Amino acid sequence: MDTTLGLPVEISDWKPAPFAVGGDSVFAIGDVHGCSAELGALLGAIARLGHDFEGKRRIIYLGDMINRGPDTIGVLEQWARDEEAHGVDRVDRLMGNHEIMMLLTAIDGPHARKAEQMWLSKRMGGDKFLAQMRERVGRPDAPPDQALLKAALGEAVFHRLWGMRSHVRLGNALFVHGGLDPHADPDEFLARPWTIFTEARWAWINHGFLDWKGGFKGTLVVHGHTPPDKHQAISGMEDVHLFEGDRLGLDGGSARTGIVTAAEIRHGAYRILKAGTAFAAPMSSNDG
């Protein structure tokens, strides 16, 4: 057990799994959803881990940094820091469905109205993030556009938002927010642009992915998106943070449970990191 900023970080024992990620030690971080203190505790623990490791250390954010929690701006400021500040050799930032909703709203394209309605709904929690941005700039009626994002978040965060990727492949591992459709061509599936909204299903999929038992042709999928209660209902897994069915899920429920979850993955093994204090009565989830 590690402790940073008064928040505990639980670190599991190493577990065997057939990951082949070369010589890297990869820290994959699941959905954070505005829980900045928990992310800070997790990053503090990561900074202290693995300095006896001779290979490169890498962080991959799996998306859904925003909405729901008390301090999305604080999360994004940590998320946007460079490799030196993170204490690693490389940082990859993937896009989640919550970032898609926000950016589609901000660019005011053909999906903007539907994306805005979904993003600002109570279920998705974008209303909390919008309120934080408006408070930061002192404009309570500021529209949710690119100008507000830049003014409230700053140039560094704004720049990082447009540089997010759909996925990262490393050896036999695929890092992606939602998952894979086993019935689709994976290259075509992952190449779908985020601007097509929910048709970019790599950021949205859970049914058809979590309940699939046939593997993914040798690809091991590390993902977030689906919180524990919903994951259990779809997959039937008792512990959703175990590697099973060629999948490793890292959505800890964050703003609904008090826990931000990550994994350290090396060749042939992984271990789970859980930052925060679990709520006595976690809120149920209807969506990732």
pLDDT digits (tens, 9 = 90+) for 30-50: 999 999 999 999 999 999 986
Cα–Cα distance measured from residue 45 to residue 165, given in angstroms and rounded to the nearest whole number: 25
Amino acid identity, residue 38?
A: E
**What pLDDT shows up at residue 105?**
98
Tokens standing for residue 73: 């701006």
- Examine residue 222 and state whether it is found in any structural domain, yes or no: yes
Q: Report DSSP state, residue 206.
A: B
- Examine residue 235 and state whether it is found in any structural domain, yes or no: yes
- Examine residue 134 and state whether it is found in any structural domain, yes or no: no
- Examine residue 152 and state whether it is found in any structural domain, yes or no: no
Cβ-contact 26, 92 below 8 angstroms: no
Number of domains in the chain: 1
Low-confidence ranges of the chain (pLDDT < 50): 4
Q: For 156-180, write each residue's pLDDT tens digit.
A: 999 999 999 999 999 999 999 999 9
The pTM (predicted TM-score) of the whole model is 0.96
Cα–Cα distance measured from residue 154 to residue 199, given in angstroms and rounded to the nearest whole number: 30
DSSP string spanning 32-73? -TT-HHHHHHHHHHHHHS-TT--S-EEEEE-S--SSSSS-HH
Please give the residue range of the domain that contains residue 193: 2-97+164-275
**What pLDDT shows up at residue 37?**
97
Q: For 48-83, write each residue's pLDDT tens digit.
A: 986 778 889 999 999 999 999 999 999 999 999 999
**Strands, E assignment, 155-259:** 167-170, 173-176, 220-223, 247-249
- Examine residue 140 and state whether it is found in any structural domain, yes or no: no
- Examine residue 143 and state whether it is found in any structural domain, yes or no: no
**Residue 141: count of CB within 10 angstroms of its CB:** 5
* Residue 112 CB partners (closer than 8 Å, separation 6+): 104, 105
**What pLDDT shows up at residue 54?**
84
Cα–Cα distance measured from residue 157 to residue 77, given in angstroms and rounded to the nearest whole number: 6
CATH number for the domain that contains residue 42:
3.60.21.10
Amino acid identity, residue 98?
A: H
